[in-house]
Structure formats: structure tokens, C-alpha cells
């Protein structure tokens, strides 16, 4: 009986996630999202669409947002991967997280980890975004519940919080 072509077998890989090294053994066809969720148990990033349209899988890769569902895990060795799980310091929330709670910047919450990572990255690149820059910066993250007005307000409030902390 012939078996289908299944691609190369699993390879060893070291992933640097939230400041920690993880040794995994995965097939080259695996996405970063699938490895984060299934091998590392980091289920914060979600699979919403699998084709880079919804942003629920957003992580920060070498300082830039990336769709983990469209990123191969083997392309991530020697790169700095940040996920929602690495954002809190002990029990203290990141200002973006605090602002989302205060402004109800979510509803069902499924897109929220991706929204948080996009907002964190946006504010790292542009600490004082205008309303239009917030909209542009968050345009890669779908919220089907339509929490957008509160997401915009949350990002603006987080910018204020971070500016106050920096003072």
C-alpha cells in the first residue's frame, strides 16, 4: 500500500518564548501557533481562521507582530517570541491589560489575547498614537463581538498609563 507524501519527519528545535528556552521535536510543517498551543501548552493565542485574516493568533516575533498561524515553527529558532502568557509580571497586569478591563475592551474574549499583543506592539513602536493610528495599528485583529469603540478607548488609555509610568 502506498502512503502519501507526508513531508520531512520531525526535527529538533529550540524556541525562545517569553524569555525561556523550550526544546521541542516537531515536523517542519508545524505552525508556530500549533507548537505554542499543543507542545508548550500556551493556549492564549487562538486559532481563529488559520489564514491570517482574524489576528486571534497574534504574537510578537523579534519585536514585530506576527500571525502565528502563518508562521512555521522552524522559522522561529533564534528569534525572540513573546506571547500573552509572558505579559504579566507576577500578579500585575500590563497597562494594556488594565485598560482593557477598565474600558470593557472585549466581549467574548476569544480575540483578546491577539488584540492585547497588537496593542502592546503598537505602543512599543508608537507610545502616543493618534485615534487614526490606533485604528490602523489594530486593523489586523477582528473582534466579531464588535468591541471596537472600547478597544480604541483601551489602547488610548493604555498609552496614557504607560506615559504616566514612564514619567
- Between 78 and 90, CB nearer to another protein: 90
Residue in the block written with cell 490602523: 136
SS3 of 113, please?
helix
End-to-end Cα distance, the chain: 69
Alpha helix segments (H runs only) across 12-70: 32-34
CB 141 within 8 A of CB 118: yes
CB 53 within 8 A of CB 114: no
Question: Segment near another protein (CB under 8 A), from 14-22, 122-130, 145-153, 157-165?
Answer: 145-153
CB 127 within 8 A of CB 163: yes
Residue 10 binding another protein, by CB under 8 A: no
Q: How do 64-67 and 11-17 pair as beta strands?
A: unpaired
Residue 142 binding another protein, by CB under 8 A: yes
- Between 1 and 164, CB nearer to another protein: 1
Residues from 19 through 48 that contact another protein (CB under 8 A): 27, 29-30, 34, 37-38, 41-48
CB of 86 to another protein, least distance (A): 10
Interaction site with another protein (CB under 8 A): 1, 3-4, 6, 27, 29-30, 34, 37-38, 41-51, 53-54, 56, 83-85, 87-88, 93, 96-97, 100-102, 104, 106-113, 116, 135-136, 138-139, 141-152
Amino acid at each position: 500500500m502506498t502512503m502519501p507524501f507526508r513531508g520531512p519527519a520531525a526535527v529538533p528545535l529550540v524556541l525562545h518564548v517569553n524569555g525561556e528556552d523550550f526544546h521541542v521535536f516537531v515536523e517542519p510543517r508545524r505552525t508556530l501557533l500549533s507548537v505554542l498551543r499543543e507542545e508548550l501548552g500556551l493556549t492564549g493565542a487562538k486559532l481563529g481562521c488559520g489564514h491570517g485574516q482574524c489576528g486571534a493568533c497574534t504574537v510578537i516575533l523579534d519585536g514585530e507582530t506576527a500571525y502565528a498561524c502563518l508562521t512555521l515553527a522552524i522559522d522561529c529558532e533564534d528569534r525572540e517570541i513573546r506571547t500573552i502568557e509572558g505579559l504579566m509580571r507576577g500578579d500585575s497586569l500590563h497597562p494594556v491589560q488594565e485598560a482593557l478591563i477598565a474600558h470593557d475592551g472585549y466581549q467574548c474574549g476569544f480575540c483578546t489575547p491577539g488584540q492585547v499583543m497588537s496593542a502592546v506592539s503598537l505602543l512599543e513602536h508608537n507610545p502616543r498614537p493618534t485615534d487614526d493610528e490606533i485604528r490602523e495599528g489594530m486593523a489586523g485583529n477582528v473582534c466579531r463581538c464588535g468591541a471596537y469603540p472600547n478597544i480604541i478607548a483601551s489602547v488610548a488609555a493604555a498609552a496614557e498609563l504607560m506615559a504616566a509610568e514612564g514619567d
